[in-house]
């Protein structure tokens, strides 16, 4: 049974469920809690890259502030593409976290929520820096 639970919680495994070792047919549907834990694991794995993108945007805006107008315009285009990418990632990550809302009493929910809050703060800070570049 522990093997099945581990398989169902692993976000890299098939979404159909744990296969039988002999016939490869899924043994059962994945329970909602294990699907939520998969979402949290994916979210936690994506968090450092997302925060890195936010930090890259802030650094790009800082660099652009010292450039002449022509180079600043080019940097603004690059920064805009990065902001659009971060917006899409943010929305996709929010959609990934939808299944966990029903498990607010679970101990792992708090950790996921704190990570989400930190990522959201980094995103809005980077977006505010980008708006400074437009002024």
Bridge partners of 133, per DSSP, are none
Supply the pLDDT for residue 29. Answer: 74
Enter the tokens of residue 93: 């990550």
Least confident residue range of 22-26, 69-73, 83-87: 22-26
User: Are residues 114 and 52 located together in one domain of the fold?
Assistant: yes
Supply the pLDDT for residue 96. Answer: 80
- Of residues 34 and 6, which shows the higher confidence score? 34
Could you list the residue range(s) of the whole structural domain that residue 21 is in? 1-30
- Single pTM value for the model: 0.77
User: Are residues 101 and 127 located together in one domain of the fold?
Assistant: yes
User: Are residues 37 and 23 located together in one domain of the fold?
Assistant: no
Supply the pLDDT for residue 14. Answer: 64
User: Are residues 57 and 73 located together in one domain of the fold?
Assistant: yes
Sign for the CA dihedral angle at 8, 48, 127, 86 comes to negative
């Amino acid at each position: 049974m522990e093997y099945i639970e581990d398989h169902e919680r692993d976000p890299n495994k098939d979404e159909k469920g744990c296969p039988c070792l002999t016939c490869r047919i899924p043994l059962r549907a994945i329970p909602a809690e294990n699907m939520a834990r998969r979402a949290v694991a994916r979210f936690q794995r994506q968090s450092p890259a997302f925060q890195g993108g936010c930090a890259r945007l802030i650094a790009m805006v800082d660099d652009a502030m010292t450039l002449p107008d022509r180079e600043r315009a080019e940097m603004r285009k690059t920064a805009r593409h990065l902001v659009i990418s971060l917006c899409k990632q943010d929305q996709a990550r929010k959609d990934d976290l939808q299944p966990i809302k029903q498990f607010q009493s679970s101990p792992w929910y708090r950790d996921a929520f704190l990570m989400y809050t930190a990522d959201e703060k980094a995103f809005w800070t980077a977006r505010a820096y980008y708006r400074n570049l437009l002024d």
